[in-house]
Structure 1
Amino acid sequence: MATMGSPSHQLRKDVGHLKYTDLLPYNKDGYAATREFLLKVTELLVEFVKDTHDRNKKILDFHHPAEMLRLLDLDVPDRGLPLQQLLDDCSKTLQYQVKTGHPRFFNQLSCGLDLISMTGEWLTATANTNMFTYEIAPVFILMEHVVLEKMRDIIGFRGGDSILAPGGSISNLYAFLAARHKLFPGYKEKGIHSIAGQLVMFTSDQCHYSVKSCAAVCGLGTDNCVEVPSDERGRMIPEQLEKLILERKARGHVPFFVNATAGTTVLGAFDPLEPIADICHKYRLWLHVDAAWGGGLLLSKKHRHPRLTGIERADSVTWNPHKLMGTLLQCSTVHFKEDGLLISCNQMSAEYLFMQDKLYDVRYDTGDKVIQCGRHNDIFKLWLQWRAKGTEGFEKHMDRLMELAAYMTRKIKSMPDKYHLIVEPEMVNVSFWYVPSRLRGMAHTAEREKILGEITPVLKGRMMQAGTLMVGYQPLDERPNFFRNIISSAAVTEVDVDFLLAELERLGHDL
């Protein structure tokens, strides 16, 4: 990217010294200055896109917080600054921003920079409309209706309802609320006194923390979010689920909700949906599938089964396109088998927004379906991306990511002296320890794992300071820190996987 103050980032002097009041809408004659300023900002963004995909550029220029505060001028002034300074601020912000679209950024579940989806986000920001009524967002509301219906059809629901929510955690919360409302409709008006007994929910010990958060936020208490043991590959054990349900029923509690995870955050494991659905049917419990991470594999004929077999039996499903599908942040959906639950559960009928005597079909007013009222437009970037790729293009993307994960797994297995695979991956999460030279002759024991766990954050620190690579790490259960590599970016190739393994060796061999 061009350096600060370079000619490519300079406005003409007669424009650079202007203030925001010289632009539209404050100055009705300010179109020329507005256009020049916005085009320069756009040039900055396009340069950042170019640099993001340049393997010779660093992913980040790392600085500790105190040093970063010295490098940046973050003061919020009393008097507004000129346009040239604002443009320089944009440039410097990008200069120190992590390039999450870089082919060697493997750090998060959401990686990559899909340019069509990015284009949609630019348009969305410019349109700047809310999503609570058809009245103010007619095109986007209809897009949402069509795309979400398509997604429900892919899941296997016939009819039903859906909504876009601000992240998978809130999508899971909407599922929880709808389940409670379905089974205990008096709760909305009467509260906890309408339920004769302690509500209890169940989820695997590998689930996303937002599931336990639902219990805390909604009054159950985290003690009543029962963690079901998982097997050695991170999948819920159905027999343990049934045992725990019976234990709680024997105590007079009211089991009502089971969360199954399709693609756990760390290991990428898929809970066995068919036997879990059988148990939910037997005891009349709501089945929610948190497929925020793994939902993208619904688009792959090759990889959908057996991982997601039985998902059509769920009552609700969370699915985040901003993860495996590569849609820009944020884009999270939650889907319900039964239509009408969302509106029945959350409707407050605010008269200043949701009048019933409007000139159009008010069923397209979506704001009363959600507790948040206003919603960001997260649909256009997904709709435009789907138009570009088609369902076929998404399927090819899913298959390619899985192919790359398999390639990385084979490479790790081919170097058992340098790398230790934690578990055979079900998805694109490849979890492993890097083994430095001094430990390569040591038997793999708990003591060795302890040392490897201590080395992992040190190597991550070297990685960030070098700026050439980013891979996340974490502990899990009895396992100390290990690397969790995520391949979800369309930019990644086998060359990048090879670089990753070679770079870890370069940075960590002497640890």
Structure 2
Amino acid sequence: MLEASRVFSDYVRSSRDTKAPVIPRIDELDLTIPEKDGIGTAGIWDDIQTICGAATNTWSERFLYKLYASPTPIGVVGEALIGLLNNNAHVFQASPIGALIEDRVGRQLAELARFPVGTAAGLTFPGGSYSNMHALMVARNRRFPELKRSGFTGAMARGEWRRPMIFTSAHAHYSIEKAAVAAGIGLDNVVSVPTDADGRMDSHALRMLVEKALADGGAPFFVNATAGTTVLGAFDPIDEIAAVCADHGLWLHVDASWGGPLALFSSDDRFGGYRVDRADSFTVNPHKLMGVPLQCSFLLMRDGLAPMREALGLGASYLFHGGSPNVLDDVGDATMGCGRRPDAIKLWLAWRYYGTEYFRRRLANARRLALDFADMVSTRPPTALGHWRLAAAPQSTCVCFWFVPSQLGAHPTPQPSWGDATRLLCTRLNYLGHVLVDYATVDLPAGSLPTFFRLPLNSPHVTKETLASVLCAIEQTAKALLDEDPRCFDADKS
């Protein structure tokens, strides 16, 4: 344990160094598995240090790649604690403290969502995709209870069967479609709802699509709204969507895997006034904006866990013996799985250690930094190399933008060649390893935007100086590419 403490603390210290690469060069690694004797203590610590040296460095403030960043130090302690305890959170007796903490944290999050106190509850799942899938499965089996036993074949054999249909924004995470596949709904029954110019679900279009589905003999039952879309960070208009769901008796789920902490903790009216209490279920991933180690996702249920048990439970007597008298029931039967990590411990430790106000400040800083960075991009003066353009105003904590090389001209509207330049710049920049950034594209009512840089601001270690250095690095990369090939950015270059 002492050796682990030394190696891990040395890794964090070296990773936080401003000169540390974000993507290390991976040399030839010995990945063989011994057939006889193992390599022992000394050998395994060499291997661990090798892994640390070859891993993507999320501890760097220049890791600006996906929707997570380095964990908090107390989060790492929580992760180690879970491994040390090796408790299974499927039945109460196997993890009593984990069960109590999960129940407490789930209810606390539900209270922040303004779900009914004393009724609402939450469970952890290994990632937002699984939380979303469980919400869909519960909604499906509640609307079509016969499917739990007879499945689609049996239900159709009895006649008068209407095909189940779900509705989700064109900008929603693909996990909703994956969940539809897993639930037997099928991709053809996932209706993509157009967005407005800001990337938010068009609630008027949703209403028309639901009514058309009903007129065509379909059975709409589930609507997924997104709080913090993966690309633009948009928040779908939940009040308007909830009105459609109420009119037609549809289950409303909010996938707030990324933006959930803003909706739950932020004092900004833009997010704090977001009416998540109108939803039936709500996904939030503390491993994103809150810095809890991967993975930690909560599915909050407005009506508690009873609908989950009814929809998914089988009451296997060899596992579930009724929990512990006067404490908590076993929760594993409310899920599609069995073995469960007590991941709530990680969030509980961080929440206890830092307090609620820390998360409010952390989220406010991320939002402020996004606005400042957008201003940096839009006001950065052009050079002989090119100029900068925002792809969209930041709606939460990510910024989307282009660097437009001078060869491509100064067009008033985005051009396809801007996307080619972005991909070329991003690929070279990431190859160099000092910065890790990402790109994306998106469809809007006015048409598809060319590929743009997309920087999510998840780490509290990122500063305006960090972001200024990223802009400089993009310009320097453009210069290096031009030095190699003066026509590298030409729009007509094959």
When normalised by structure 1's length, the TM-score is 0.88
1:275 paired to 2:240: yes
In structure 1, stretches of 5+ residues that fail to align are 1-37
Q: What corresponds to 2:429 in structure 1? A: 463
- In structure 2, the residue matched to 1:6 is none
Equivalences for residues 130-209 of structure 1 within 5 A: 130-158=88-116, 159-192=119-152, 193-194=154-155, 196-209=161-174
Aligned CA-pair RMSD: 1.7
Question: What's the counterpart of residue 475 of structure 2?
Answer: 505
Aligned match of 2:260: 295
The alignment partner of 1:345 has SS state of helix
Instruction: State the match for 1:106 in structure 2.
Output: 64
Which amino acid in the other structure matches residue 57 of structure 2? K
- 1:443 and 2:443 correspond: no
Match of residue 23 from structure 1: none
Per-residue displacement from partner, 1:286-341 (whole Å, max 9, x unpaired)? 10010111001124443253576221100110111111111110000101111211
Question: Residues 264 and 272 of structure 2 are in contact (CA less than 8 Å); yes or no, is this contact kept in structure 1?
Answer: no
CA distance in 2, matches of 1:352, 1:361: 21
Q: In structure 1, what is the equivalent of residue 454 of structure 2?
A: 484
Query: Which amino acid letter does the alignment assign opposite residue 430 of structure 1?
Result: V
Aligned counterparts of 2:140 and 2:87: Cα–Cα separation in 1: 32
**Which among 23, 31, 40 is matched to residue 82 of structure 1?**
40
Checking the alignment, whether the CA contact within 8 Å between 1:103 and 1:489 is kept in structure 2 is yes
**Which has the larger displacement, 320-329 or 472-481?**
472-481
Alignment partners' CA distance in 2, 1:105 and 1:438: 29
Contact 1:270–1:307 at 8 Å: present in 2 too?
no
Contact 1:61-1:465 at 8 Å conserved across structures: no
Q: State whether residues 93 and 324 of structure 2, in contact with CA within 8 Å, keep that contact through their aligned partners in structure 1.
A: no
Tell me, in whole angstroms, the C-alpha distance in 1 between the residues paired with 2:221 and 2:324: 41
> Which deviates the most, 112-121 or 304-313?
304-313
Task: State the distance in 1 between where 2:121 and 2:141 align.
Answer: 15
**In structure 2, do the counterparts of structure 1 residues 311 and 359 end up closer, same or farther at CA, with 3 Å as the change threshold?**
closer
Deviations 1:75-122 (A, max 9, x none): 112022222111111111111111112111110101123111111111
Deviation larger for 139-148 or 409-418: 409-418
1:352 paired with 2:318, answer yes
- Which residue identity lines up with residue 180 of structure 1 in the other structure? R
CA distance in 2, matches of 1:407, 1:236: 26
Is 1:494 matched up with 2:464? Answer: yes
Give the Cα–Cα distance (whole angstroms) in 1 for the partners of residues 133 and 342 of structure 2. Answer: 20
Q: Quick check: 1:450–1:480 contact (8 Å CA) kept in 2?
A: yes
Q: Map 1:387-402 to 2 at 5 A.
A: 387-402=352-367
Taking the aligned partners of 2:57 and 2:33, their CA distance within structure 1 comes to 26
| Distance (whole Å) between structure 2 residues aligned to residue 250 and residue 308 of structure 1 | 35
Cα displacement string for residues 202-230 of structure 1 (whole angstroms, at most 9, x for unaligned residues): 00000000101122111111011000000
Using the alignment, how far apart are the partners of 1:212 and 1:355 within structure 2?
35
Q: Distance in 1 between matches of 2:460 and 2:295?
A: 18
Consecutive unaligned residues in structure 2, runs of 5 or more: 483-488, 490-494
Contact 1:167 1:331 in 2 (8 A): yes
CA distance in 1, matches of 2:134, 2:400: 31
Give the C-alpha shift of residue 186 in structure 1: 2.4
**Within 5 A, what are the aligned runs for 1:272-351?**
272-305=237-270, 309-339=274-304, 340-351=306-317
Q: Secondary structure at the match of 1:335?
A: strand
Please say if residues 322 and 329 of structure 1, whose CA atoms lie closer than 8 Å, have aligned partners that are also in contact: yes
**Alignment partner of 1:40: what SS?**
helix
What SS does structure 2 have at the residue aligned with 1:364? coil
**Mapped partners of 1:438, 1:86: distance in 2:** 53
Q: Offset at 1:483? A: 0.9
Conserved? CA contact 1:422–1:432, under 8 Å: yes
1:419-438 matches, within 5 Å, as: 419-438=388-407
* Alignment TM-score, normalising by the size of structure 2: 0.90
**What's the offset of the Cα at 1:345?**
1.3
Report the AA paired with residue 98 of structure 2: F
Question: 2:204 and 2:283 mapped to 1: Cα distance?
Answer: 24
The answer to whether the 8 A contact 2:266-2:364 is kept is no
Q: Tell me the equivalent position of 1:73.
A: 30
Moved more, 278-287 or 44-53: 44-53
Aligned residue pairs total: 464
In 2, Cα distance between equivalents of 1:331 and 1:152: 16
Q: Which amino acid aligns with 2:145?
A: P
The alignment partner of 2:92 has SS state of coil
